[in-house]
Structure 1
Amino acid sequence: MNTLRCRGCTDYRLTASYRSGSPGDWSYDAHVAAAEIGASSNYIESSSDSVDDMDPNDKQRITASVEASLLSLLGFSKRPRPKGKPHVPESLKKLYAKQNSISSSNIAKKGLHTRSANTVRSFSHIESPLDEKFQSSNRFRLSFDLSSIPQEEVLKAAELSLTRIALESGSSKKLARILVHDIIRPGVKDQHKPLLRLIDSRVIDMTSNSTISLDVHPAVSRWLQDGNNHGLLIQVSSRNRTSDSHVRLKRSVDESHDTWSSSRPTLFTYTDDGRSKMASASEIMDRRARRAALRKNRRKDGRENCRRHPLYVDFVDVGWNDWIVAPPGYDAFYCNGDCPFPLSDHLNSTNHAIVQNLVYSTNPAMLPRACCVPTALSSISMLYLDEENKVVLKNYQDMAVIGCGCR
Structure 2
Amino acid sequence: MLTFVISFATLVCTAAARPSLNNLALPVENKPEEVRSAAIKRLLGVFGMEDTPAVHGHKEPPQYMLDLYNTVADVNGLTRDPDLLEGNTVRSFFDKLRSEQVEFRFNLSTVARTEKILTAELHLFKLWPQATMAFNRLHFCQVSVYQVLSSSKHNHTQEKKLLSSRLTPIHSTGWEVFTITHAVRSWMVNESSNLGLHVVVRSLGGSRVNMKVIHFASGRNHHLSKQPMLVLFTDDGRQSTSLQDSGETTVTSSHPEAPLSDPPSRRTRSLDHSEEDRASMTCQHLPLYVDFEEIGWSGWIVSPRGYNAYHCKGSCPFPLGQNMKPTNHATVQSIINALRLIKSIETPCCVPDKLFSINLLYFDDDENVVLKQYNDMVAGSCGCH
Residue 249 (structure 1) aligned to one of 214, 218, 223: 218
Q: Does 1:30 align with 2:26?
A: yes
- Count of aligned residue pairs for this structure pair: 350
More relative contact order in 1 or in 2 (CA 8 Å, sep 6+)?
Answer: 2
Higher relative strand content:
1
> What secondary structure sits across from 2:34 in the alignment?
helix
Q: In 1, are the aligned partners of 2:353 and 2:381 still within 8 Å (CA)?
A: yes
Among all aligned residue pairs of Structure 1 and Structure 2, give the percentage whose two residues are the same amino acid: 30
Q: Does 1:265 align with 2:232?
A: no
- In structure 2, the CA distance between the partners of 1:65 and 1:118, relative to structure 1 (3 Å rule), is same
For residues 315 and 333 of structure 2, what CA distance do their matches in structure 1 show? 14
Q: In 2, are the aligned partners of 1:377 and 1:402 still within 8 Å (CA)?
A: yes
Residue 319 (structure 2) aligned to one of 319, 342, 345: 342
Aligned-partner residue type, residue 238 of structure 1: S
Partner of 1:45: none
For residues 287 and 384 of structure 1, what CA distance do their matches in structure 2 show? 22
> What secondary structure sits across from 1:262 in the alignment?
helix
Residue 202 (structure 2) aligned to one of 237, 254, 258: 237
> What secondary structure sits across from 2:223 in the alignment?
helix
Partner of 1:127: 97
Q: Does 1:400 align with 2:363?
A: no
Residue 369 (structure 2) aligned to one of 367, 372, 391: 391
Shift of 1:10: 7.6
Partner of 1:197: 161
Residue 80 (structure 1) aligned to one of 33, 53, 57: 53
Shift of 1:237: 1.6
Shift of 1:155: 0.9
Runs ≥4 residues deviating over 6 A: 18-22
Partner of 1:274: 237
Residue 355 (structure 1) aligned to one of 332, 348, 351: 332
Aligned-partner residue type, residue 398 of structure 1: D
Partner of 1:221: 185
For residues 386 and 287 of structure 1, what CA distance do their matches in structure 2 show? 27
Within-5 A mapping of 1:160-179 = 160-167=122-129, 171-179=136-144
Partner of 1:118: 88
Give the gaps of 5 or more residues in structure 1.
1-8, 32-50, 109-113, 253-258
Aligned-partner residue type, residue 249 of structure 1: S
Q: In 2, are the aligned partners of 1:105 and 1:396 still within 8 Å (CA)?
A: no
Partner of 1:285: 252
Aligned-residue CA RMSD in angstroms? 3.2
Report the TM-score when normalising by structure 1: 0.77
Shift of 1:189: 5.3
Partner of 1:41: none
Shift of 1:174: 1.9
Q: Does 1:155 align with 2:117?
A: yes
Aligned-partner residue type, residue 87 of structure 1: E
CA distances 1:249-292 after superposition (whole Å, capped 9, x unpaired): 2423xxxxxx6211111001111111255999x9342778x947
Give the gaps of 5 or more residues in structure 2.
270-274
Report the TM-score when normalising by structure 2: 0.81
Q: In 1, are the aligned partners of 2:286 and 2:311 still within 8 Å (CA)?
A: yes
> What secondary structure sits across from 1:149 in the alignment?
coil
Partner of 2:272: none
Partner of 1:327: 304
Q: In 2, are the aligned partners of 1:105 and 1:380 still within 8 Å (CA)?
A: no
